[in-house]
Structure 1
Amino acid sequence: MAPRIQIRKAPQRWLTPAGGYLSGYSHTLNPYVGCAFGCSYCYVREMPVGRFREEAWGSWADVKTVDEKRFRAEWKREKTKGPLLLFFGSATDPYQPAEIRHEVTRSLLRLMAEDPPEFVLLQTRSPLVVRDTELIRLFGDRIRVSLTIETDSEDARKHFTPAAPPLQARWHAAEQLSAAGIPYQLAVSPLLPHTPAFAERLAAAAGRIVVDDFFRGDGSMGKRTERLGLRASYSAFGEPELYAPETADRFYSRLAALMPAGAVFFGQEGFRP
């Protein structure tokens, strides 16, 4: 069943002060409320926006209306306070299916490009990001696309994130970003069950990679993820022993041995500006 889409009024404020896991950023920016990808491990499920809504996470997405005049005024006001360093997509995917029609992310990028921020991390798992290649290029080295590829196993993808884009489309998107000269990283975040060839494929696909897991990357040292039932989900997938911090530690070490020094990051460090 397709997610229910609802149009919201233009928000009074787009830019939310950042902190905690996103320290290093001045603000977060989210073009949608909710996310149609509905990943089983998403930490936003345990936040108020996910917990206190009657509809199941992943079954709905609210579209924020863009009032260009109001956005420009807020943007200008916040820039006078100091450098803008934005994490774009901290609680939703900017390129979820609603973006195809409503183009909120595209509109915001266009407005931001008029007076670029100091830095923006554009976080997504969707190959739709390549649609905006020419617009993203306007930011030069002030932007980094962070493209999530948590596994190279379609079986794992279908088990843990059945509504998320197929993996091959994401690998192809990485190739397109590279060919376009756009700064990007691959985010193995969180690491899911994978094949023995995953590390080698990642090393060949990107010059910068960040690895994360459920225990250090959900903002609560794994407590949110535990409440989401991921331990049982790993058991149902047939690999309960992989639900442990040591799994990501071993993978990080393997990846670091394959890549140049300073090319592989773990957790929070890899998402900083």
Structure 2
Amino acid sequence: MRIEPEYKEPKTILNKGTGFLSGYTHSLNPYTGCAFACSFCYVRQMPVSLFRQMDWGTWVDVKQGAAAVLRRQLRTAKKRGAVTIFMSSSTDPYQPIEHKELVTRSLLEVMAEEPPDFLLLQTRSPLVTRDIDLLKQLEERVRVSMTIETDLDDMRKLFTPSAPPISARLRALTQLTEEGIATQAAIAPLLPSSESFPQVLRQATNRICIDDYFNGDGSGGKRTGRLGLASLYREHGLEEWYHPDALHKVVERMQDVFHEGEWFMSPQGFEP
């Protein structure tokens, strides 16, 4: 898919944490738009996407000069109290354009020098391992949350064909964990998976967070429903997975492998 980047110079980069992110003082998005174009992404239903005259996944705004803006805002915010940051809430900080633009890395460089009290780094990209050197400098102040919705790559291809392969994400998560960086696997939203999914995740991390469309989209599943996902599940004979009961099935499987304090339900698992 061809991506049309635009370059913007933001006046602010830290946004107040609200709603789902109310446990954080701020959210931080290095880009606007996301080339991974996941079929279930809630941002598809937000004004930033609806008012754009281009399909979601075909455009990305690159925030030039973001590091300088963050440095200024971060210093001011830290004078007022604790600073906890969720990166990112409406884009993937390690989508393909990050290879070239390095916006996310520049922001981590600032945070290594001016550490927030906590940073949750949410991604589905193995590119995050490139920045292990900076993540280590943040020590206990950072957790990398790697989205791994399923262990079945054919399900990944069905729902998120432009996203990185599951095997690559698992290798990246394992590497981060072995490097001593706090990690978790975010099964969010959960997709059809195999019975061995818990064992697969256990080899990569000791913490998981589980979520589904009906709890995680902020509207009891209505916002996701408008994306037409129900028909996609029906078309492929997966109706049982597009139901609240699927969450209970996956939780039961995970509880056999992950103990109390190692598995969480969203939003608890994303809290600082």
Scaled to the shorter chain, the TM-score interval is over 0.9
Unaligned runs of 5+ in 1: none
What's the CA shift for 1:57? 0.3
What is the SS of the residue equivalent to 1:62?
Answer: strand
Question: In the alignment, what sits opposite 1:189?
Answer: 188
Question: In the alignment, what sits opposite 1:127?
Answer: 126
What's the CA shift for 1:68? 4.2
The letter of the residue matching 1:8 is: K
What's the CA shift for 1:2? 2.2
Question: In the alignment, what sits opposite 2:81?
Answer: 82
- What is the CA–CA distance in structure 2 between the aligned matches of 1:171 and 1:70, rounded to whole Å? 33
Residue 100 in structure 1 maps to residue 99 in structure 2: yes
The letter of the residue matching 1:18 is: G
Equivalences for residues 111-190 of structure 1 within 5 A: 111-190=110-189
What is the SS of the residue equivalent to 1:185?
Answer: strand
- What is the CA–CA distance in structure 1 between the aligned matches of 2:268 and 2:66, rounded to whole Å? 34
CA root-mean-square deviation: 1.1
Question: In the alignment, what sits opposite 2:204?
Answer: 205
Length, aligned pairs only: 272
The two structures have a TM-score, normalised by structure 1, of: 0.97
Deviations 1:205-227 (A, max 9, x none): 21000010000011222111000
Cα distance change of structure 1 residues 178 and 197 upon mapping to structure 2, 3 Å threshold: same
The letter of the residue matching 2:20 is: Y
Asked if the contact 1:159–1:237 (Cα under 8 Å) also holds between the matched residues in 2, the reply is: no
What is the SS of the residue equivalent to 2:86?
Answer: strand
- What is the CA–CA distance in structure 2 between the aligned matches of 1:248 and 1:200, rounded to whole Å? 17
Asked if the contact 2:230–2:242 (Cα under 8 Å) also holds between the matched residues in 1, the reply is: yes
What's the CA shift for 1:67? 5.1
Question: In the alignment, what sits opposite 1:262?
Answer: 261
The letter of the residue matching 2:150 is: T
- What is the CA–CA distance in structure 2 between the aligned matches of 1:163 and 1:156, rounded to whole Å? 12
Over 6 Å off, 4+ runs: none
Deviations 1:8-42 (A, max 9, x none): 12x11111001211121000000000000000000
- What is the CA–CA distance in structure 2 between the aligned matches of 1:249 and 1:195, rounded to whole Å? 14
Unaligned runs of 5+ in 2: none
- What is the CA–CA distance in structure 2 between the aligned matches of 1:70 and 1:225, rounded to whole Å? 34
Asked if the contact 2:45–2:223 (Cα under 8 Å) also holds between the matched residues in 1, the reply is: yes
Question: In the alignment, what sits opposite 1:28?
Answer: 27
What's the CA shift for 1:244? 0.5
Question: In the alignment, what sits opposite 1:2?
Answer: 2
- What is the CA–CA distance in structure 2 between the aligned matches of 1:23 and 1:75, rounded to whole Å? 18
Asked if the contact 1:213–1:248 (Cα under 8 Å) also holds between the matched residues in 2, the reply is: yes
What's the CA shift for 1:189? 0.5
The two structures have a TM-score, normalised by structure 2, of: 0.97
Question: In the alignment, what sits opposite 1:221?
Answer: 220
Larger CA deviation: 17-26 vs 94-103: 17-26
Identity over aligned pairs, percent: 49
- What is the CA–CA distance in structure 1 between the aligned matches of 2:22 and 2:214, rounded to whole Å? 18
What is the SS of the residue equivalent to 1:215?
Answer: helix
Question: In the alignment, what sits opposite 1:39?
Answer: 38
What's the CA shift for 1:235? 1.1
The letter of the residue matching 1:105 is: T
Deviations 1:132-168 (A, max 9, x none): 0011110001000000000111111011000000111
The letter of the residue matching 2:219 is: S
